[in-house]
Amino acid sequence: MAIFRHTQDLPAEARGCVVAIGNFDGVHRGHQAILRATADLAGRLGCRHAVLTFEPHPRRFFQPDAPPFQLTSFRLKARLIESLGVDHIFFLTFNRALSELSAEAFVRDILVRDLQIRHAIVGDNFRFGHKRAGTVARLEAIGAEFGFGVTVLDRVTGSDDEPYSSTAVRRYLQAGDPTRAALLLGRYWEIEGRVQVGERLGRKLGFPTANIPLGETLEPARGIYAVRAGVDRGERTVWHPGVANLGVRPTLGDDGQVLLEVHLFDVDEDLYGQHMRVALVDYLRPEWKFDSLDAMTLQMQEDSRRARVILAGERWEAGWPSIAFEPVRKGRGKGERGPGPAS
């Protein structure tokens, strides 16, 4: 998959694609349905398929002082989209200039002039252009004017009719329900980052940890989690079971910094500076303040025991931190208007 941080002066093979457009934060199962539809149509038309998305998320641009809410970093979003077989991904920098483009200018300058798209596929809640003035109906009308087709997909829901949405994923994670979030995502939700040097107290207590700051990632419920942690080994990611504390370590003195402290079971190696992905499998308990280090150590032993039991019983697949999920019911396409075989 080729990644472009711009849309100008593209090679010929990156133009004339079927393009899925959206933020795709989380790349949840609704997003995956859009990307599958994009691939299917590209196959029928005999062209490549691509994703057009934005970095940073527009909400971060308009609300820079709001708490972090992002589900997937640039790196992880690209990796997830690549795993779905997309040919090209265009990351547009969402800045003031882009935010002030009218809906018509966005289509004319980016979709038509730069990308020369053959067909656009969007979700039914897609909005674009200055002040989100562009609706899916407007995109269909402009597409007809410029000669490309548009497909609008209805929201995708699960067997309980709950729509797959980034908002719902955030809500479940912040409520301490990573399992329900995973059902919407189609995989366990991950926090990733570079392992930073800590105080090494965990090693003295018999529980060495790899510490990862959250950065711009959403803060889920604080507490103890059963996790799978993936360590980069070149082009491979090697996964290990473990237990993690997410919070401010109240027993050791709350300095205000929220950290994910991961203890890998039966692993003893220096991980400082390495990139790690941590998938939250299950929530064990809230973060507590203990009266002594001995009391905290006893509880850590119990947390580790429970995490081992949980992780031993779950089905783990080597490539992605995924589990068996309820079947997807695809949304119905609202329309495929515009010239071309899909119209």
- Write down the pLDDT at residue 327: 33
Yes or no: say if 185 and 28 are a contact pair by the CB < 8 Å rule.
Answer: yes
**What is d(CA 340, CA 343) in angstroms, rounded to the nearest whole number?**
6
> Residue 334: what are its φ and ψ, rounded to 5°?
-75, -35
Q: Provide the Cα torsion 169, 171, 174, 175; round to 10°.
A: -110
**What is d(CA 28, CA 327) in angstroms, rounded to the nearest whole number?**
14
Quickly count: other Cβ atoms within 10 Å of residue 90's Cβ: 23
pLDDT in tens, 55-86: 999 999 999 999 999 999 998 999 999 999 99
User: How are strands ordered across the β-sheet holding 18-21?
Assistant: 2-4, 88-93, 49-55, 18-21, 119-123, 149-153, 333-337
Q: Where are the beta strands (DSSP E) in 132-186?
A: 149-153
pTM score, two decimals?
A: 0.86
Its CATH class, for the domain covering 2-159+326-337, is alpha beta
Number of H helices, E strands in the chain: 10, 13
Write down the architecture of domain 188-313 according to CATH.
Answer: Beta Barrel (2.40)
Q: Which residue has the tokens 């990796």?
A: 79
Please give the full DSSP string across 222-289, using - where no structure is assigned: -EEEEEEEEEEETTEEEEEEEEEEEE--GGG---S--EEEEEETT--S--TT-EEEEEEEEEEE----
* Stretches in the chain below the pLDDT threshold 50: 318-319, 322-343
Tokens of 106: 């966005």
Helix, strand, coil in percent for the chain, rounding step 5: 30, 25, 40
Cβ neighbourhood burial of 29 (10 Å; 0-12, 13-18, 19+): buried
- Write down the pLDDT at residue 157: 86
- CATH 2.40.30.30 in the chain is located at 188-313
**What is d(CA 261, CA 308) in angstroms, rounded to the nearest whole number?**
17
**What is d(CA 278, CA 232) in angstroms, rounded to the nearest whole number?**
11
- Write down the pLDDT at residue 238: 87
Please give the full DSSP string across 34-52, using - where no structure is assigned: HHHHHHHHHHHHTS-EEEE
pLDDT in tens, 168-209: 999 999 999 999 999 999 999 999 999 987 766 666 666 888
Tokens of 109: 């300058």
**What is d(CA 271, CA 195) in angstroms, rounded to the nearest whole number?**
7
| DSSP code at position 113 | I
- CATH 3.40.50.620 in the chain is located at 2-159+326-337
